[in-house]
């Protein structure tokens, strides 16, 4: 009657999509899809990140190239601009000097100026003439020296720094003029301390000059004009010494370190007075990129063609490099915009995901609420079911009581009727004095009493099977004892009873008397079932299987129809005539076996009849 329920592990099955899922519905972790890139297998996530950093990388690469290009273009532009400016500055220098270049030449021929060389009495007149002329032409000073270098007439004769009586024979322009050449020189005035350009001519021009006429041109005006431009432009002499320009702090310093001999020569000419002639920087003078006073400059140079002067134009390198910074700033701005756009998109996506999650949470809450409702509903149904079951049980108990009462009444009525008959018969025999017949009737009455007693006994057993001694026994012995107990019935009916016992022990800790009661009941039923057969036969087997002792009782009777197999274990179910059975045997047997921790079931036997199988737990070793 036991039904085996097998709970195995849920088998894995394949879906048509090829995904492996187990029967619980959980799908195995899906491998992350990946793509081959440059021989590497990259996952979709890594690829997506790579794609995201590509645009900034491209911008950076482009910025490197563009910055170089922009700086190069800026250098070209700055160089071209510098060249233009230099040409302009050179023109202004030459124009300024050109204005005065021929002044000494003209003055040298004018007796109002040079007459003083032969007649000192003309000094005053010469001085005044020179003063007027200087004022008219804008020359800084105009003066006449005798052939020894002594100044004999000067336009500044009436000033504190008058050149009168001073000797300038040491000046190179004086010697050059005496030699019949054009004397040209730039120097810091030995008397005034003010820088100026000197043009000198001998007078008269020829092999024996009597003196030299000189004009000193003030370059201040030029410088003042240049300063207004706000540019860094300077003029250097043949040695690279700065003597003119927009940078006062660089004046009389050299672009590159000077040779000692050069320094000595400059000092002997007193060209720059007592200036220190330090160097502005340590690198070569012609370098295009150089650093002066902590500022990097780009330098452009142009020869002035006058006394080997050079004019220099300086552009701060920071200005030249500005476009590079602009390019980088633009690149970073672009990357920033990109990053902000990405963040914006991401936050929007996150917003969408959050909204989705919120929706999911809402539907989960809804689902949960429905589940709770369903559980409540199930509990209610279960309660109702239990109540219905209880009602049914009550009803079936009542039905059973009714059935049993009918069966008991039927069982007892017959012997009671017989008893009445035997009692009246005994009375009659007693009146007739037939003592032997009276005794015979009394025997019959006693037999009926015994039958009624056994019936009540059996009913009592069903109601309360009672205790039985528990001990460890060999179940093969129980089976043998049971066979002995039914021997009278076997002999009476002529049914063949065979026992097949395992050779090994079949020990169980159980109630042997109860087990025998069950076995006797099974064998008796089997005998009843096959009685009418041509070769009635009952087979009883005993063996061990797993942790259980198994005993089987099979017959070759008609068997039990499938639909009755469950019902035969119900109390009072019987197919036998009322006198032959109460239908309590199997019900009692099943209850006993259950109490002993075993099971009792029925199936079709090999020889066509029924086969009852009893299982009991084997004793622990
Ligand atoms: P009873 O023997 O008093 O009828 P049981 O509970 O022992 O009561 O048996 C109930 C019923 O089970 C029987 O009436 C019979 O129909 C059926 N049955 C029991 N054993 C067998 C068997 N070996 N072969 C066929 N039917 C059987």
Calculate what percentage of the chain has a pLDDT beyond 70: 88
C-alpha dist (Å) from residue 252 to 344, 351, 441, 462, 607: 62, 72, 172, 140, 139
Residue 392 pLDDT greater than 90, yes or no:
no
At 476, which CATH number?
A: 3.30.565.10
**CA 418–ligand 1 middle distance (angstroms):** 27
Query: pLDDT by residue (tens digit) across 414-424?
Result: 778 888 989 99
Q: What is the largest CA-CA distance in the chain?
A: 225
Residue nearest to atom 7 of ligand 1 (CA): 585
**CA 470–ligand 1 middle distance (angstroms):** 28
Helix (H, G, I), strand (E, B) or coil at 433: coil
Are 129 and 19 contained in the same domain?
A: no
3-state secondary structure 564-596: HCCHHHCCCCCCCCCCCCCCCHHHHHHHHHHHC
Report yes or no on 397 lying in a domain: no
Report yes or no on 456 lying in a domain: no
Output the DSSP codes for 102-145. Answer: THHHHHTT-HHHHGGGT-GGGHHHHHHHHHHHHHHHT-SEEEEE
Residue 5 pLDDT greater than 70, yes or no:
no
Report yes or no on 595 lying in a domain: yes
What is the arithmetic mean of pLDDT over 286-307?
89
Which one, of 547, 551, 527, 536, lies nearest residue 475 by Cα? Answer: 551
What secondary structure letter does DSSP report for 249?
Answer: G
Report yes or no on 23 lying in a domain: yes
What is the arithmetic mean of pLDDT over 560-578?
85
Which one, of 589, 399, 612, lies nearest residue 511 by Cα? Answer: 589
Query: pLDDT by residue (tens digit) across 201-226?
Result: 998 877 788 999 999 998 888 888 88
Number of domains the chain contains = 3
At 129, which CATH number?
A: 3.30.450.20
Query: Where does the pLDDT of residue 229 fall: very low under 50, low under 70, confident under 90, or very high at 90 and above?
Result: confident
**CA 374–ligand 1 middle distance (angstroms):** 45
**CA 132–ligand 1 middle distance (angstroms):** 166
**CA 453–ligand 1 middle distance (angstroms):** 22
Residue from 486, 562, 586, 607 to probe ligand 1 pocket by mutation (most atoms less than 8 Å from CB): 586
C-alpha dist (Å) from residue 28 to 15, 16, 17, 19, 23: 12, 15, 13, 8, 12
C-alpha dist (Å) from residue 210 to 149, 170, 538: 10, 17, 176
Question: Could you identify the atom of ligand 1 that is nearest to the CA of residue 584?
Answer: 6
> Whole-prediction pTM value?
0.47
Which of 197, 218, 239 is at the close of a domain? Answer: 218
Question: Could you identify the atom of ligand 1 that is nearest to the CA of residue 555?
Answer: 23
Question: How far, in whole angstroms, is CA 478 from its chain's centroid?
Answer: 74
Report yes or no on 278 lying in a domain: no
Are 474 and 603 contained in the same domain?
A: yes
Output the DSSP codes for 513-575. Answer: HHHHHHHHHHHHHHHHHHTTSSS-EEEEEEEEETTEEEEEEEE-SS---GGGTTGGGSTT---
Cα–Cα distance for residue pair 531/538, rounded to 1 Å: 10
Residue 21 pLDDT greater than 60, yes or no:
no
User: What per-residue confidence (pLDDT) applies to 583?
Assistant: 81
**Residue 340, H or E segment:** helix 317-432
Residue 373 pLDDT greater than 80, yes or no:
yes
Are 20 and 142 contained in the same domain?
A: no
Answer whether 247's CB lies under 8 Å from 223's CB. Answer: no
Query: Where does the pLDDT of residue 20 fall: very low under 50, low under 70, confident under 90, or very high at 90 and above?
Result: very low
| Residues having CB within 6 Å of any atom of ligand 1 | 521, 525-526, 529, 555, 557, 560, 568, 573-576, 581-587, 609-610
Which residue is associated with the tokens 């490099």? 321
Query: Where does the pLDDT of residue 301 fall: very low under 50, low under 70, confident under 90, or very high at 90 and above?
Result: very high
What is the arithmetic mean of pLDDT over 556-581?
84
Query: Where does the pLDDT of residue 150 fall: very low under 50, low under 70, confident under 90, or very high at 90 and above?
Result: very high
Are 601 and 472 contained in the same domain?
A: yes
Report yes or no on 246 lying in a domain: no
Question: Could you identify the atom of ligand 1 that is nearest to the CA of residue 583?
Answer: 8
Query: Where does the pLDDT of residue 16 fall: very low under 50, low under 70, confident under 90, or very high at 90 and above?
Result: very low
Report yes or no on 538 lying in a domain: yes
Residue nearest to atom 16 of ligand 1 (CA): 575
Report yes or no on 223 lying in a domain: no
User: What per-residue confidence (pLDDT) applies to 50?
Assistant: 83
Which residue is associated with the tokens 């709770």? 372
Of 140-154, 253-267, 437-451, 576-590, which range is least confident? 576-590
Which of 186, 218, 250 is at the close of a domain? Answer: 218
User: What per-residue confidence (pLDDT) applies to 44?
Assistant: 80
What secondary structure letter does DSSP report for 619?
Answer: P
Question: Could you identify the atom of ligand 1 that is nearest to the CA of residue 521?
Answer: 7
Give the ranges where 190-316 is alpha helix by DSSP (H). 220-229, 260-269
User: What per-residue confidence (pLDDT) applies to 165?
Assistant: 92
Are 469 and 584 contained in the same domain?
A: yes
Cα–Cα distance for residue pair 569/592, rounded to 1 Å: 12
Calculate what percentage of the chain has a pLDDT beyond 90: 52
**CA 480–ligand 1 middle distance (angstroms):** 22
**CA 581–ligand 1 middle distance (angstroms):** 8
Are 501 and 602 contained in the same domain?
A: yes
User: What per-residue confidence (pLDDT) applies to 462?
Assistant: 57
User: What per-residue confidence (pLDDT) applies to 535?
Assistant: 94
522-546 burial code (b ≥16 CB/10 A, e <16): bbbbbbbbbeebeebbbbbbbbbee
Are 122 and 7 contained in the same domain?
A: no
Are 143 and 19 contained in the same domain?
A: no
Query: pLDDT by residue (tens digit) across 33-69?
Result: 565 666 666 678 888 888 888 888 999 999 999 999 9
Residue nearest to atom 12 of ligand 1 (CA): 568
Answer whether 441's CB lies under 8 Å from 426's CB. Answer: yes
The angle that helices 44-101 and 317-432 make with each other, rounded to 10 degrees, is 170
Which one, of 169, 164, 167, lies nearest residue 152 by Cα? Answer: 164
**CA 182–ligand 1 middle distance (angstroms):** 160
Residue 409 pLDDT greater than 80, yes or no:
no
What is the arithmetic mean of pLDDT over 313-332?
92
Are 111 and 27 contained in the same domain?
A: no
Residue 580 pLDDT greater than 80, yes or no:
no
Residue 228 pLDDT greater than 50, yes or no:
yes
Answer whether 346's CB lies under 8 Å from 268's CB. Answer: no
Are 162 and 22 contained in the same domain?
A: no
Residue 11 pLDDT greater than 60, yes or no:
no
Question: Could you identify the atom of ligand 1 that is nearest to the CA of residue 530?
Answer: 24
Output the DSSP codes for 213-236. Answer: EEEEE--HHHHHHHHHHT-EEEEE
**CA 514–ligand 1 middle distance (angstroms):** 19
Answer whether 357's CB lies under 8 Å from 104's CB. Answer: no
- 383 against 40, higher pLDDT: 383
**Residue 291, H or E segment:** strand 289-292
- 482: containing domain: 464-617
Going across the sheet that includes 242-245, the strands are: 242-245, 232-236, 310-316, 295-303, 289-292
Residue from 568, 572, 590, 613 to probe ligand 1 pocket by mutation (most atoms less than 8 Å from CB): 568
- 566 against 552, higher pLDDT: 552
Question: Could you identify the atom of ligand 1 that is nearest to the CA of residue 580?
Answer: 3
Are 116 and 13 contained in the same domain?
A: no
Cα–Cα distance for residue pair 513/466, rounded to 1 Å: 11
CB neighbours of residue 19 within 10 Å:
10
Are 106 and 5 contained in the same domain?
A: no
Residue from 521, 525, 532 to probe ligand 1 pocket by mutation (most atoms less than 8 Å from CB): 525
What is the arithmetic mean of pLDDT over 306-312?
87
> Which residues are within 8 A (CB) of 156 and not within 5 positions of it... i.e. 6 or more apart?
131, 134, 141, 143, 162, 163
Answer whether 166's CB lies under 8 Å from 150's CB. Answer: yes
Cα–Cα distance for residue pair 472/467, rounded to 1 Å: 16
**CA 409–ligand 1 middle distance (angstroms):** 21
User: What per-residue confidence (pLDDT) applies to 541?
Assistant: 96
Of 41-55, 86-100, 256-270, 404-418, which range is least confident? 404-418
Which of 218, 235, 266 is at the close of a domain? Answer: 218
Mean pLDDT of the chain: 85
Residue 518 pLDDT greater than 50, yes or no:
yes
């Amino acid at each position: 009657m036991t039904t085996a329920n097998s709970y195995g592990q849920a088998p894995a099955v394949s879906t048509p999509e090829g995904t492996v899922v187990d029967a619980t519905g959980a799908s195995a972790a899906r491998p992350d899809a990946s793509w081959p890139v440059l021989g590497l297998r990259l996952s979709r996530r890594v690829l997506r990140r790579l794609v995201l950093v590509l645009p900034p990388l491209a911008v950076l690469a482009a910025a490197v190239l563009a910055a170089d290009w922009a700086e190069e273009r800026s250098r070209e532009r700055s160089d071209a601009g510098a060249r233009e400016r230099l040409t302009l500055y050179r023109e202004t220098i030459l124009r300024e000097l050109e204005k005065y270049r021929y002044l000494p030449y003209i003055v040298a021929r004018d007796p109002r100026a040079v007459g003083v060389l032969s007649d000192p009495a003309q000094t005053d007149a010469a001085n005044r003439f020179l003063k007027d002329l200087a004022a008219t032409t804008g020359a800084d000073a105009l003066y006449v020296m005798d052939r020894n270098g002594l100044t004999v007439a000067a336009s500044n004769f009436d000033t504190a720094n008058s050149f009168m009586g001073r000797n300038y024979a040491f000046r190179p322009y004086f010697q050059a003029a005496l030699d019949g050449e054009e004397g040209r020189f730039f120097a810091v005035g030995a008397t005034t301390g003010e820088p100026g350009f000197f043009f000198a001519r001998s007078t008269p021009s020829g092999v024996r000059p009597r003196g030299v006429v000189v004009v000193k041109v003030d370059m201040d005006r030029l410088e003042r004009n240049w300063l207004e431009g706000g540019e860094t432009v300077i003029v250097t002499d043949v040695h690279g010494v700065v003597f003119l320009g927009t940078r006062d702090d660089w004046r009389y310093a050299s672009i590159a370190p000077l040779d000692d001999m050069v320094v000595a020569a400059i000092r002997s000419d007193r060209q720059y007075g007592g200036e220190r002639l330090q160097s502005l920087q340590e690198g070569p003078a012609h370098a295009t990129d150089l650093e002066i006073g902590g500022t990097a400059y780009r330098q452009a140079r142009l020869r002035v063609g006058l006394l080997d002067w050079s004019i220099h134009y300086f552009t701060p390198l920071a200005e030249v490099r500005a476009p590079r910074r602009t390019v980088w700033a633009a690149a970073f701005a672009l990357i920033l915009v990109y990053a902000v756009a990405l963040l914006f998109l991401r936050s929007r996506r996150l917003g969408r995901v959050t909204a989705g999650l919120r929706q999911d949470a809402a539907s989960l809450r809804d689902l949960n609420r429905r589940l709770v409702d369903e559980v409540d509903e199930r509990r209610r149904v279960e309660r109702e079911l239990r109540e219905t079951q209880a009602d049914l049980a009550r009803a079936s108990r009542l039905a059973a009581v009714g059935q049993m009462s009918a069966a008991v009444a039927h069982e007892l009525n017959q012997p009671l009727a017989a008893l009445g008959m035997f009692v009246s018969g005994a009375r009659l025999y007693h009146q007739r004095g037939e003592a032997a017949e009276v005794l015979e009737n009394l025997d019959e009455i006693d037999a009926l009493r015994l039958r009624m007693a056994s019936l009540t006994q059996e009913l009592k057993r069903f109601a309360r099977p009672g205790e039985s001694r528990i001990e460890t026994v060999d179940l093969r012995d129980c089976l043998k004892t049971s066979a002995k107990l039914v021997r009278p019935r076997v002999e009476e009916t002529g049914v063949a009873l065979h026992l097949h016992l395992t050779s090994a022990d079949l020990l169980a800790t159980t109630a042997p008397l109860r087990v025998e009661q069950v076995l006797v009941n099974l064998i008796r039923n089997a005998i009843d079932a096959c009685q009418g057969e041509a070769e009635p036969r009952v087979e009883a087997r005993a063996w061990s299987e797993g942790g259980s002792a198994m005993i089987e009782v099979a017959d070759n009777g008609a068997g039990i129809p499938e639909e009755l197999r469950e019902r035969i274990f119900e109390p009072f179910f019987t197919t036998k005539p009322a006198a032959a059975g109460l239908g309590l045997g199997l019900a009692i047997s099943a209850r006993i076996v259950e109490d002993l921790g075993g099971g009792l079931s029925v199936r079709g036997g090999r020889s066509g009849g029924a086969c009852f199988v009893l299982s009991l737990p084997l004793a622990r070793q």
